[in-house]
Amino acid sequence: MKSYDVNEEEGKYAQSPIPENKRKHWFTVAAIYFGMTAALSSFASGGALISGLSLAQSIFAIVAAVFLLVFVFYVPIGYIGAREGLNTYVIGESAFGVKGSNIATAFIITIIPCVGWYGVQVAIASEALNEVLGGNEALLPWIMIALGIIFCIPAMYGVISMAWLDYLAIPAIIIITIYGFNKAISITGLEGLWSFEPATQQSIIWGINLIVGSMVVGASFVADYTRWTKNKLSHVSLSGVVGIFPPMLILTVIAAMMGISASSLGDIDEPWNIAAVMKQLGLPLISLALVIIMQWSTNITSSYSAGLALTKVFGWSRFWWTLVAGILGTLLSLFGIMQYFIEFLGILAAFVSPAAGVIISEYFLVSKGTFNKKQGIYWPGILAWLIGGLSALFIPFFIPAINGAVIGALVYYVYHVMIKTNPQEQLE
């Protein structure tokens, strides 16, 4: 009997539909997203919130943002993946064309954001490990290189190994969460946490957009994972609700509390840098070590999806492109991407969300639930994405990420209504 080769199976379906008999339980996807969300990206976002919002305002922003992420981005894109059995970059060919999808879907939704996130996560984990080892700055670049390579290994072998790593990461997440919550309460107290006011006040809309920006990439390339689930809306919805809501809500709120407590003990230049916050709070070294496990469970999704996208654009091997993505992200960590964390989130929110909006509009509104692949560059999709992205950057009201998604989707839909395009004519 032939043995099951995970990497062979992964490579086989890099650009083709996954058969129903190969699909897995929705909890596998939920576990991957739980691990991706319950990580330092959530802690970093929570810390960033308190640079402009009070705790109460931060909690409201988190709840609103997670609702939008799950039901505006994750469920629609995820359902397309489950119905078609295709990953995000192949699905994007219906909205942007085969070549256009390389730009709008592969590079904008995945390669650039995922490689950037990989660099951010490696930087935070490396700083945490460096603190455990004594805080030698000369050692930090070498730690970044080592972790940057190690972190992408499970993703090279596919979703099964990724899910197992996420199962193992859950205890680390629980321990850090309990440690952080207890420290925040013991140092500042509930009254101090609730009465906190940031030095520079921002709007709640700013906070919502910051959280959306931190997770919009993961919510937009969800088809990479839901293509492995059964073709049921309930399965996709459950994977999103279970995989995103609990970790995002709990960890981001606790991170905001930790950031407030750390700030009360002294100046914190980067409240989104969880390693610096934990050091300021005097948490045990073991908690800093557990940070590495959390980052590992997050970075596997970044390198996995970037590897898929690079395979789609350039061919070759998904296995080796995953390693290349990890190396590129590691280089960004070495060049100091962490210094531009909040700006990075803003750019992600502006240009990723309209690409997702255009894909949703094409599949559900224009093509009525069918996958209609276009050849070359499909300029209506590209232009709708660009208009949505520019709108997200320059329209000064509501939530830029949502503005971009809605405007991009509407422009695409109105164009097809006005010219009365028959999407069936665009079939390959």
Tens digits of residue pLDDT in 40-66? 667 778 888 988 999 999 999 999 999
Which of 95-99, 208-212, 215-219, 337-341 is the least confident region? 337-341
**Taking the C-alpha atoms of 413, 418, 420 and 425 in order, what is their torsion angle to the nearest 10 degrees?**
-60
Given this model, what pLDDT does residue 56 score?
93
Tokens linked to 336: 């100091």
- Pick 166 or 403 by higher pLDDT: 403
Is the pLDDT confidence value at 69 over 90? yes
Residue 5 has pLDDT above 50, yes or no: no
Give the start-to-end residue ranges of the domains of the chain: 22-85+106-337
* Residue 7 scores a pLDDT above 80: no
- Arithmetic mean of pLDDT, 325-353: 81
pLDDT of residue 58: 93
Do 37 and 247 contact (CB within 8 A), yes or no?
A: yes
Average pLDDT over residues 363-390: 93
Q: Looking at residue 12, what is its pLDDT?
A: 66
Question: Do 74 and 235 form a contact (C-beta atoms < 8 A)?
Answer: no
> Amino acid letter at 415?
Y
- Identify which of 244, 237, 241 has the alpha carbon closest to the alpha carbon of residue 218: 244
Check pLDDT > 60 for residue 278: yes
> Does the pLDDT value for residue 4 go beyond 50?
no
Of 213, 221, 219, which Cα lies nearest the Cα of 344?
213
Tokens of 234: 């309930």
pLDDT over threshold 70, residue 81: yes
What are the helix (H) ranges across 92-139? 93-96, 98-101, 112-132
Q: What is the pLDDT of residues 383-404, one digit of tens each?
A: 999 999 999 888 877 888 899 9
| pLDDT band of 314, cuts 50, 70, 90 | confident
pLDDT band for position 164 (cuts 50, 70, 90): low
Tell which wins on pLDDT, 342 or 196.
Answer: 196
Measure the CA–CA gap between 251 and 174, rounded to whole angstroms: 9
So what's the pLDDT on residue 11?
59
Please list the residues that pair with 229 across neighbouring strands. Answer: 24
Percentage of the residues of the chain whose pLDDT score is greater than 90: 29
Quick: pLDDT tens for 244-263. 888 888 888 998 998 888 88
Q: What is the DSSP string of 13-79?
A: TSSSPPPGGG-B-HHHHHHHHHHHHSSHHHHHHHHHHTTTS-HHHHHHHHHHHHHHIIIIIIHHHHH
Residue 206 reports pLDDT greater than 80: yes
Q: What is the mean pLDDT of residues 354-377?
A: 94
Joined tokens for residue 333: 């960590």
Return the higher-pLDDT residue of 332 and 6.
Answer: 332
Structure tokens at 378: 């499909």
Chain position carrying tokens 């803003």 = 346
CA distance 283 to 168: 22
Average pLDDT value for the chain: 82
Q: What CA–CA distance (Å, rounded) separates 73 from 67? A: 10
Which pLDDT score is estimated for 427?
A: 45
Q: Which of 63-72, 145-154, 234-243, 273-282 has the lowest mean pLDDT?
A: 273-282
pLDDT of residue 94: 94
Question: Is the model's pLDDT at 413 over the cut of 90?
Answer: yes
What's phi and psi for 24, nearest 5 deg?
A: -120, 175
What single DSSP character describes residue 104?
I
Please state which CATH number belongs to domain 22-85+106-337. Answer: 1.10.4160.10
Closest CA relative to residue 83, chosen from 23, 141, 148, 40: 23
Q: Which tens digits make up the pLDDT trace of 96-151?
A: 998 888 888 777 777 888 888 788 888 878 887 887 777 788 899 999 999 888 88
| Neighbour tally for 417: CB within 10 Å | 11
Give the model's confidence band at 166: pLDDT under 50 very low, under 70 low, under 90 confident, else very high: low
Higher pLDDT, 3 or 307: 307
